[in-house]
Structure formats: C-alpha cells, structure tokens
Amino acid sequence: MKYVKDFNWKKGMSVKSFVEELGGIGFQAIELKAASEIIEKMKTSGSKIYLSFTSNMVTSGLRGFFAQVINLGMADIIVTTAGAIEEDIMKSFGEKFDIVSFNADDIALHQRGENRVGNLVIRNESYMKFEDWMTEVLEKLYTKQKHWPVSELMKEIGLLLKDENSILFQAAKKDVPIFCPGITDGAVGFHLFMFQQKHPDFIVDVVKDFKNIMFATSHDDTKGFIALGGSISKHHAVFAGLLSGGFEYAVYMTTAHRSSGSMSGASTNEAKSWGKIKDDSDAATIIGDVSITFPLAMISALENLAEKGIIK
C-alpha cells in the first residue's frame, strides 16, 4: 500500500529528486513520475524509441531540448508536423520568436505582420527569409535527384543547417529519420508546391515514406513511444508501431481530454483496444502543458541514466 507523502523543498534539490518527490503527492504528479520511470526503462531495455511532437513545441524553446534528446540517443524515430520543420529551419539561421501575452492585440499584431502562437510571435519576415532559403536549397537538391521520400529530404536539409540546437541537424548527424506525413500542411508545403510548378518532375513522396516508417522497426524490436501533443504526428507514429507489433512502453503528454474522442485526447489505455500498445505495456498518460511536463520527466530520466553510465 502506498500513502500520500507531504512534499518539502530541500536546498539544492535536483530535478531527479524533485520528480521522485512528486510520486507521493497524488493526481498528475504521480503520472509524471511514472512517465519518467517509463522513459528510463525504454532506454535501459534497448527499445527503439519513437518521439512525436507538434509544431507549437518547436515554436517554443523546447526545440533545443529536442535536439539535445536526439543527440543523447533518446530518440530513434521522429514524427512531427510541417510547422516544426519550417520553424526549426528558421531558428537555425538566426530568426528570433518574441514572447508576448496570451491577451495580445491580435489585430495590431496582424497589421505589423506578426503571427501569434499562444504567447509567442513569429514575424512575416521570418517566413520570407525561409522562402528564400528553401528556394535555393531545393534547387541544389533537385540537381541531386528528382524523387524524394520526405524523411530523406529532411536528412539532406538537416545536413546543411550546422546548428547544434537544430532538430533536423542532430537527427541527420545521428541518422535518426524524421517523418512528416503532413508535409504540405504549412509554409514548407507551399514552397514545395511552388517549386514543383517550375519543376513538374520534382516529387516529394509521402507514400514511399510510409514504407520507410513501417520498416523502421520490426516485430522483434522492443519499442517505446513518447507522444507529445496529438494530431497527425501522434497517430502516424502509433500506427507505425501497431504495424510492427505494438509498443511495450508508452508515455502520452497532452492538454486534450479523452472525452472528445480525438486522437489528441486518446489515452494509452484506449490505444490498447487497437493493439497499438501491448496489453502488458508499461504506460502513462499525463494531462498538462508539455512545455513543463516533458522537461521534468525527461531530465529526471536522463539524470538516472547518466548515473548508470548509459548516457554521457
């Protein structure tokens, strides 16, 4: 029998010890500690780890942390959205996103050419610089080959960025594939479309990439899944896992609720009904802001793994 324990701050408390204390508080704090333990088990068991996240998390400062997580070997397969790709690239060549208020004057922002994502702002100028950069890069890649599966295109782009805080760069360097099934759903998709009008034989092949993610793991692999947010990135990853036998470990972090019947709000328990997560899997679902919950759970796991010498 476990009992609720009173939480007390201790001077010099580490993230690891803080998350350990959360396990006695109750409610979502217990789930967060469980998530950290499951992430640690994914790595110690030698699992192939899928990591999915949505673009808003790359708008935020989590972008650099995702890059570090990849560099540390905590993700073997990435699934994300078009916005994440373009914003990672923008930040790679020095674009800054402003912090504003959730209650900012949106009409004034629009008149100034500023686009709000929660309490963050991306300027139109950033998209214009992105367009110029993409046009030049696509011309170079077109001379190399005409037909590109999305993940192979992402790797080629990543190798050009040379930014240690870039998700695409770290993934390319570590040979971690980035899958983006909704590549046309954003500015990057528009530029791919415009480039194809000039070069009709230029093909970005999402169907070929479906084959690539299907065979990224096998039924014999132990698999773990960290889903941050929901949307197409979460479903594409969990469906790929289903096709290779289901996940042994899973952590879902989201602000969506199961009552909507959406993929974003679907819990790890619901996934078991589909066979996406195995019946006897080690799984946790955390309802809360991923910009808070993910760093806490992951850093606690990293500190434990570093103490064991599993990561450096």
**CA separation, residue 16 to residues 9, 23, 62, 309 (Å):** 13, 11, 19, 16
255: left (phi over 0), alpha (psi -120 to 50) or beta: alpha
Residues in contact with 221: Cβ distance below 8 Å, sequence separation at least 6, in sequence order:
47, 48, 244
Give the integer Cα–Cα distance in Å for 292 and 204: 35
Q: How many CB atoms lie within 10 A of CB 239?
A: 17
265 to 13, 67, 72, 208: CA distances (angstroms): 33, 26, 29, 29
| Coil vs helix vs strand at 267 | coil
Cα atoms found within 13 Å of the Cα of residue 77, Cβ hemisphere only: 27
Angle at 267 between CA 257 and CA 21, to 5 degrees: 90
Catalytic residue among 48, 276, 308, 312: 276
Among candidate residues 232, 236, 247, 185, the one with its CA nearest the CA of residue 214 = 236
Question: Which one-letter DSSP state was computed for residue 47?
Answer: P
Helix, strand or coil, per DSSP, at residue 3: coil
Is 276 a catalytic site residue? yes
User: How does strand 98-99 pair with strand 120-123?
Assistant: antiparallel
Tokens of 259: 């009552």
Catalytic machinery residues: 276
